[in-house]
Structure 1
Amino acid sequence: MSLEHHEAFNRMYLKDKMTLGFLTPFEAKSKTKALPKMENTVELARKIEDFGFAAIWLRDVTMQDLESDDHGQLYDLWIYLTYLAARTNHIALGTSSVVLPLRHPVRVAKEATSIDRLFPNRLIMGVASGDRKKDFEALGVEREGRGDVFKQNFDFLDRLLKEDHPTIHSELGVIDGNGMKLMPTPFTTIPTMVTGSSQQSLEWIAEHGDGWIQYPRSIQEQASIIKDYRELADKKQPGVFKPFTQTLYIDLSENPDESPTEIPLGYRLGRNHLLELLYKFQEIGVNHLVFVPYFAKRSMEEMVQEIAEEILPQFPTHNL
């Protein structure tokens, strides 16, 4: 199976073009380290879909770290993704990202294929090695060895999702291709995107992922990374399009002409400068950009509407 029939993938990703999405929770981080309220996530998700954005993304976070104000989202990744999928119609739902060292690959495969069958062609599955210390401590997993565990779990998961009758002998478990089979099977190929380095080499990422999700960098640095990634991906699998996705933290000013000032992993800026920045990201090869509102001062409703009306028409979700 290939990704040519996956509707969400093809609505989000096209060579030399870029689409836009948002990361939950749709609210700024609390200065008091309070958990996200997530009171209007469904309403905002519907607005984001109705406006025509390409995707909504959800993080995989287990424990609240009382020493940090970054709690990700409140609910379990798969449960809340299902909740949002049932209350929206067609927008892509991405995981950014399933922490593979903390989840058994057979369970991940079961969860992903269930989503894919219940809500066909909507799941974009980012996977990662994870970095939140408290999650590893709580689950009794050695964090220092997460790169090796990630690769082992990724290979197991990849075979379960992409082979009809895999026979797998692993310390994680045994799959007898003659006597058992994962159920349900995927509706179609589920795009699996490596996030960050996941403790792997760029060569490995370029060969094994269906795409790559990265963190924000300067235009120059990101351009260099994308160039190296494209060259390696084409060398490993000539002619196969492997899209590049990145996040961008934004605090959208009410003044459309406000010049950019740096915030963690992004900028505070007006929409006219944001538009210029997005054109630059598209030019260097970013295929999908995810807005992160954790440092925003304005209401999410206002920001979504302004971006939808003034910026989204330049980066539309692709028609099938």
Structure 2
Amino acid sequence: MMITPSPAENAGPNPFGRGYASMFAPQQLTVGVYFPIEAFDGPEPAMHDQIELAQQAERLGFAALWARDVPLNDPSFGDLGQIYDPFVWLATIAARTSAIALATGAVILPLHHPIDAAKAAASLDRLSGGRFVFGVASGDRPVEYPAYGRDADLRGVLFRDAFDYVEALLTKRFPAHASAHYGRLAGGGDLVPKPLSPRLPTLVTGQSQQSLDWIAQRSDGWLTYPRDANQQAQVAARWCEALGRLGAGFKPIAQSLYVDLAADPDTPPSPIHLGYRVGRRRLADLLDDLRSNGVNHVALNLKFSRRPVADVLDEIGTEVIPHFRISAP
């Protein structure tokens, strides 16, 4: 069955859709969570109860559910994400949720043909009612580029080429576009469906082999990596400077954060891989510092949780999330 948006879904000044609008606003911070919503050892999650946990996160007011693109098991990398293809998985989640944003963090754009990537992204956006936020990256796992017959040394060039092609398909009708690596469009064919809103919000992950000015100019936001508060403040300041040089308006900065939530709410943060073991009150302090330093969204990863993740979601959702929702100006 085709989902047809109501006029209300296309109304208003927001050009990016309701998923983006629920995640990002100037000087505010929201919280999301990565799939798998699960604690596990090794690279492969069990993926039990993920739909129910996603629905729990939505009820509790988390702003977004995130999925990753990991096409092959690379033992040297040690992380399979949610195992399933991100578009297929998020379409499944879209059918079982109604309001929470759905984001990729991130699709390895050079490894997908731009027509296929654009078709999947626009389809997911339509099927979710405008909730999709399209995170893209150049990729960094060693086995992938040779397996796809691509030159890893060209991944920055391939990323820009694929990005341009996808953008033409998503924003223009019957586009004429020449790609150096992925083929050409002569204006005789058009991508359908188009995204629900005028522009599908696209976040670039890390540097993706690009300059910060290029990312600031071409993307709708930046997904970067966790750092300590002082370092992240400097990174956010560089982002704002790049936007200022280009005369651009607000474009958000988001990051991931691994969290092992301690039972004692006042447990101070102690480092774990790409995050902290921390109590809920001190987690709220960390998030408040990030908000003050210019970060607009934090996507939690619960892989290293020592407590049942349903309990962790409930505690964060009840005690922390109410302080980090987008409020009216």
In structure 2, runs of 5+ residues without a counterpart are 1-9
Of the three residues 50, 58, 71, the one matched with 2:59 is: 50
Q: Which amino acid aligns with 2:294?
A: G
Is the 1:54–1:317 Cα contact (8 Å) retained in structure 2? no
Is the 1:24–1:73 Cα contact (8 Å) retained in structure 2? yes
> Partners in 1 of 2:63 and 2:184 — Cα distance?
38
Q: Which amino acid aligns with 1:10?
A: A
* C-alpha distance after superposition, 1:88-132 (max 9, x if no partner): 112100000010111011111111111122222100000000111
Worse-superposed segment, 158-167 or 184-193: 158-167
In structure 1, runs of 5+ residues without a counterpart are none
Q: Which residue does 1:215 correspond to in 2?
A: 225
Q: Which residue does 1:12 correspond to in 2?
A: 23
> Partners in 2 of 1:5 and 1:273 — Cα distance?
33
Q: Which residue does 1:35 correspond to in 2?
A: 44
Is the 1:63–1:138 Cα contact (8 Å) retained in structure 2? no
Deviation at 1:3, TM superposition (A): 4.3
> Partners in 2 of 1:4 and 1:113 — Cα distance?
15
* C-alpha distance after superposition, 1:193-215 (max 9, x if no partner): 00000011111111111000000
Q: Which residue does 1:152 correspond to in 2?
A: 161
Q: Which residue does 1:275 correspond to in 2?
A: 284
Q: Which residue does 2:7 correspond to in 1?
A: none
1:232 and 2:232 are equivalent in the alignment: no
> Partners in 2 of 1:29 and 1:198 — Cα distance?
28
> Partners in 1 of 2:52 and 2:43 — Cα distance?
22
- Give the TM-score normalised by the residue count of structure 2: 0.92
Deviation at 1:318, TM superposition (A): 5.0
Q: Which residue does 1:59 correspond to in 2?
A: 68
Kindly tell me the number of residue pairs found equivalent between the two proteins: 316
Measured on the aligned residues, the alpha-carbon RMSD in Å equals 1.7
Q: Which amino acid aligns with 2:101?
A: A
Deviation at 1:312, TM superposition (A): 0.7
1:134 and 2:130 are equivalent in the alignment: no
> Partners in 2 of 1:26 and 1:134 — Cα distance?
26
Aligned to 2:255, the other structure's residue is in SS state strand
How does 1:59-208 map onto structure 2 within 5 Å? 59-171=68-180, 172-177=182-187, 179-188=188-197, 189-208=199-218
> Partners in 2 of 1:93 and 1:308 — Cα distance?
18
The percent of aligned pairs where both chains have the same amino acid is 40
Structure 1's consecutive aligned runs of 4 or more residues displaced over 4 angstroms after TM superposition are: 317-320
* C-alpha distance after superposition, 1:140-196 (max 9, x if no partner): 22222211111111111112112234210223122122x221111221121000000
